[in-house]
Every structure is written in C-alpha cells, then in structure tokens.
Chain A
Amino acid sequence: MTAVAENKPAYEGKALDLSGKSGSRAFKNTLATVLIGLAFVLAMIPLVWILFTVISKGYHLLLSADWWSQSQRGITVRREGGGAYHAIMGTLIMSLITAVIAVPIAVLGAVYLVEYGKGTRAARAVSFMIDILTGVPSIVAALFVYAVWITIFGFNRVGFAVSLSLVLLMLPVVLRSTEEMLKLVPDELREASYALGVPKWKTIMKVVVPTAFGGIVTGVMLGLARVMGETAPLLILVGYSKNINLNPFNGFMGALPTMINQDRTELALQPAADRVWAAALTLILLVLVLNVLARLIARFSSIKSK
C-alpha cells in the first residue's frame, strides 16, 4: 500500500505529459479512468442502498428497551411488541460455542503449519485441506453435521449442532489469519529464545503467540463475523423458538437470521415487517461491531517487523 502510494505522483506526471501526443491513446486512457471510476460507483450503490433500507426501516424498534430485553413469546405476526432478546442471545451463545471449539484447533493448526510442518508434504496437505474447507458451502457443512449428529447418532436438533457446523466455517478463516500472523513474527525472536535454552513449546507459547496475539484476535473476530450471519445451518439444524432458551443442548433456539426468516413471509403486515428489518439491523450491527473491533485491534497491535 505505502509503496504504491509513494510512487504515485511520479506516474501521474509522466502519464499526463504523454497523453497529449496521440488522440486515441489519450481517449483510451480517459475512457479507462472513467470506466474504473464507474465500477467503483457501481460497487458502492448496493452497499449504500442496503444500509439505507435496513437502517431507515429498522431503527425505530431498536430504540425501545423492550427490543433488547424481551422475547417474542406469545406474539403473533399481527401484533406489535416483544423484542429480540431470545434471538440475540441465541446468536451469541451459538457463536461463542463455535469460537470455543474452533479457535484452539485453528491456532494450534496454524502453529503446526508455521512452526512444525514448514515445507513438508504433510503441511502442504493440511494447507490444501484448509483451502478446501474455506470453500465448503455452509449448507454442505450443515448437511454433514445433520448426517452425523441426527441421522447417525440420533440426537435432536439443537443449538449445539449448529455450532458444530459453524466450526467448519470458522476454522479455516481463523487458521489462515493466524498463520499469516505467525509468519510475521521475526525469526530473531525465536532464535533469541532458543539461545536462552527455552524449549520450543515455551518459545511458541510465550514468545511467538503473544507477539502475534493482536492479529490472532483480529482473525477470530472476522471468523465470528462470518459465522454470525449464517442462516443455512440454522434452518436445518435447529428449529426457531420465540421463547428464551439459553440451553444449547436442549430444545429449539431463536437466532437473528431465523427470526428474520420467520417473519419474512408476512412482510405485508406492518408489525412483522418492522421486526424483520429491526432484526436485520441488529444482525448487521453485531457483525459490524466485530469487524470494527477486529480492525482496531489489528491497527494497534500490528507486529513491527524489521
């Protein structure tokens, strides 16, 4: 980024000098500039439009305290009132369980790739599998957990099953970002630690991982942001409940995406529509807060290498 930015003025000056010499080349250059600017504007339209829609239609419900403290218990589509407490808690609980399972595996896997398996064929195999896992559609992850959890083991549809399928989606995100961060840790730090006689595992735990900690947290946040908005596993692996259920091992559970899904067929009714957009705004806010946190952490704890 910085290299590009630094060199920019030089190019612009030269390009300008030349552009007057040949009409068609100058025209092409201008055309390209216009098209590229246009592509950017085109990309911004949906973002602005979506955010405007969701905020303008959803904000007023978020202002009431009920939204953050009540469930939808006993509230039909035609009635106003109630809140999203059950869904917010459900989303948070399932995401938290996902993180608790996925983060240790992801961090240790990254440690393996960077510290132990570097350059070996096994590490390449693991790396390839992570790429594959990155591409696994959420519906396939959900079907896999359905096959194991419900068809083979015969358990019920519960929140924990959703978390298991979300682990498959979060794992590669966190693993990749952790790997990148561990690679940035200067070898001098490791060598200094070894030279003091500190064993390898303590070097990793006390020198390498703490150095990269900010970046790892950023990866975790981004991973969480990705799984929070997932809807497909929720549709297949847990039923939607309007009541507050904080037990991920028993019973149906509300979640923000399924709360949107629940009322979206009744959008002609104002109370239902209000709830849909308010739930959508709540979900975007949750994801956004995680994203912003991730960026802040990344900014204030970047590894100063070289």
Chain B
Amino acid sequence: MSSPDGTAPPDRPDGTAAGQDQPRIEDLVHEEAGPIPKFGGLAEEHAEHEAEEAAEVMTESGPESKASAAGTSGAPPSGPGKELDLGPVGHLGDRLFSGLARGSGGLVILIVAFVGIFLLALAIPSLADDKSSFLFSRIWEPGGDQPRFGIAALFYTTVISSIIAMLIAVPIAIGVALFITYYSPKRLAQPVAYAVDLLAAVPSIIYGLWGILFFAPILGPVIDGLSSALGWIPLFEKPPGDNVGVVFTASVVLAIMILPVVTAISREIFQQTPIAHREGALALGATKWEMIRMAVLPYGRSGVVSASMLGLGRALGETVAVLIILSVPNGQDPWNSSIFAGGETFASKIANNAAEFDSPEKTGAYIAAGLVLFVVTFLVNSAARIIVDRSTPGNKRPRRNRRAGASTATEGAKS
C-alpha cells in the first residue's frame, strides 16, 4: 500500500495538535468539513470501545493473534520508524476512522467468540446436571429433578438428512453449473443463472409448506420403491404407517434448497477454467464432454468440494422447512434409524420446543444442542474454507485428468 498504514495509537503525544496539520486538505475538499467531523465525534467513543474489545480478544486468543495484533495496529508507541512514515498526514480523522474500521473487524471476531462462549456458559450447568450421557443417549427429557437428555438421535437425523440432501444436490448442481457455463445458448445463460438464484430467494418456510403439502405425496411411490428394493438395509427399511413427513422427504427438499448455493459457486469456478486448458483439450481432439472432464472438472474440483461443504453447512442448520416436514416420532415408539421414518434435527427440535424455555435447566439443554450444531457447522465450514485456501488457482492443480474428473461428484458428496 502506498498509503500511511498503521496509524498512531491514541496515546500519541501530538494527537491534540492533529487538527492543525491539515490546512491544505480543508481547502481542497472544502464542502465536507461539515458532516465528517460530526461523524468522527459521534463515533469517537465507539471506536475507543471497540478497539479496546478487539485488543482484548486478540490477547485472549493466543500467541498467534497477539503477533497479528502487533502487526496490524501499527507500530506500538515505541516504534518511531513508522511515525516518520506518517509525516504530516497523521490526522485525527485518520486515526478515528482506522480505529472504527479495525474495531468493526475486531467486532466480527468478538461476535463469533461470544456466540461460542455464551452458548457454552449457559449449557455447562445443564450438562453438569444431565443424568444420562449427553453425547450417546437418545433420550430427551430435560427439566424435572432427574434431567436426562442426549443428542445421539438428533445428531443422527441431522447428519443423515443433510448428507442425503448433499448427495442429491451436488450432481444436479454440477450439471446446472455446466449447463450455464458451457452448454446453454449464450443468451439463455444469464436468465438461467438468475432463475437458479431465484430458488435461493424463496423463504424456507415456503419450501416447508410446499414440501409437505405438494411434494411429499409424489415422493410416496419413490419411497415405496426404494424400500422394497433396498429394505433389507436398516437405513431403507420402511416402518409401518404413512410415509409423509419422513427424513427422506426432508432431505429432498433440503437438496432443492442448497442447490442454488452449490450451483453458484461451481459456476464461478467452472468459468475460470483457463482457456488454454480448454482449447488444449479440444485441440487434442477431445469431444466437448471430454474437454469438460479433462479440463473443467479437474480445475474446479476443489471449488466444487468446498461448495458442497457450504451446502452441507446450510442443510445442517436449516430449521423451519425441516420443522414443518418432519413428523415428530411418538415418545413410546422405539427409535428408528430408517430414513423413511420421522425424526428431529437439532434445529427443528430447538424451534419446536421454544415454548419450553421456561426454566434455565431446560433452556440450557436446548442451548447445549444448539452448541453442538454450531460446532458441527463450524467444522464443516472450516473444512470448506481450508480446501479453498489450499487450492487457489495457480497453486498446484491436480492433473490426474480422468480419475479426477470422474470422481468429482462422488468425492464432493462423501466428504
């Protein structure tokens, strides 16, 4: 950056005289003298406050962030070298503004840290009272003298429904992305992209209503077919009773909901495939599909995997659509691992029982469940992020053409 970075800390001795350092600037940009000092003045206490908080977080979170704090907040008071760079532009407004900007950055870190800390703080007392194993029990009876609750069943339903959703959505999303980037007529590409984005604009409660009222009935035959063919696997065993409001239905609706996310990211990656790769493939005599398999898919592989992870994260946390679709199993029934049975996910359980948040113990149990969901989505999203970071275009790209291309879809789905 050509600009003076690392503005001085607030306790710089000449801070009070800063106003006099800038006569020319006021002449240059005269009309703005009015509103902006006001803005700075208003923001002053916020900036200080937020900067303080940011500093706190950074020192809290280990040596790595400490180093970074020193790196960004400019030279510490003892660093005269930086101050020389600053010269006459070490402006009061500059310091306030950079403080505000840094504060906002710090605030973001703070918010995420707070989400974790507060959820943990409120979950711990309830977890300590829990009379059954929190991680491995399938019972959910918080409150009362002998609170017993565990997340095993919730965890199972959440993960299985999201993974099935991803298995369905990712191949279709790759197809749609390829259609938009390489197959559709030029004029159609943009409207089609908009239309897919439109899917993302439909609120989730509407997906839920549509899913249970209109979509679930036509899925009935599919469920019957799958269960009669694969019924010997417990996962596909169809329990007696109707098959409306089962995990599988929720998964298909979730797949529709995450489709635009996965499509949008895959599309961008596919578009960036270097022209040289594509033309090279075609020059060697490849058909269009072979070009896609040899040049486009290997190039976009990591992008598609990370897009799938982001889609998975969405599906894990989706609340209302799942809440509406899934039928809550009767308390007396034995727990059923089949995807053709009802169930509850973390999110639907919490939302369904919002009315039960009357005592801290009960609330704590639900907050503990929310915390697990937070951790799971955190891990999934971090994985997506790491995959993206590790394979930014220009780094080593996998060149195993055929295998890489052919396995893209399945790999994306498994991880």
Contact = CB atoms under 8 A, between A and B. Distances in A.
A121 B97 CA distance: 20
Contact of A139 (B98, B313, B319): B319
Interface in A10-64: 10-12, 14-15, 18-19, 25-26, 28-29, 31-33, 35-40, 42-44, 46-47, 49-50, 53-54
B374 A225 contact: no
Given A5-B186, A205-B36, A261-B205, A108 B104 contact: yes
Interface in B66-88: 67-69, 71-73
Interface in A75-113: 104-106, 108-109, 111-113
Nearest to A259: B205
A4 interface: yes
Given A108-B103, A122-B72, A287-B203, A128 B209 contact: no
Interface residues of B, number: 127
Interface size class of A (residues with CB under 8 A): 35 or more
Contact of A143 (B4, B100, B111, B367): B367
Contacts of A168: 111, 115
A173 B121 CA distance: 28
B203 A236 contact: no
Interface in B183-209: 183-184, 186, 189-190, 192, 194-199, 201-207, 209
B347 A39 contact: no
Interface string A186-206: 010011001011111111111
A136 B347 contact: no
A50 B202 contact: yes
A137 B179 contact: no
B58 interface: yes
A112 B199 contact: no
B175 interface: yes
Nearest to B318: A137
Given A120-B72, A135-B378, A8 B186 contact: yes
B133 interface: no
A8 to B, nearest CB: 7
A124 to B, nearest CB: 8
Contact of A204 (B69, B97, B377): B97
A116 B98 contact: yes
Contacts of B366: 143
Given A42-B172, A49-B214, A280-B206, A151 B287 contact: no
Contact of B175 (A35, A118, A175, A205): A35
A137 B319 contact: yes
Contact of A136 (B29, B101, B319, B374): B374
Given A199-B25, A291-B201, A236 B108 contact: no
30 contacts: A1-B189, A10-B279, A14-B283, A28-B287, A33-B289, A39-B178, A40-B180, A43-B196, A43-B263, A106-B104, A112-B101, A115-B101, A120-B68, A136-B115, A136-B317, A137-B374, A139-B347, A140-B119, A144-B114, A144-B119, A146-B357, A168-B111, A197-B89, A198-B29, A199-B94, A231-B320, A257-B205, A260-B206, A261-B320, A288-B201
Given A15-B287, A152-B118, A280-B209, 17 more contacts: A10-B282, A11-B291, A32-B288, A37-B179, A46-B256, A47-B202, A111-B104, A116-B101, A120-B72, A128-B385, A129-B112, A132-B381, A133-B108, A198-B29, A200-B98, A201-B97, A236-B351
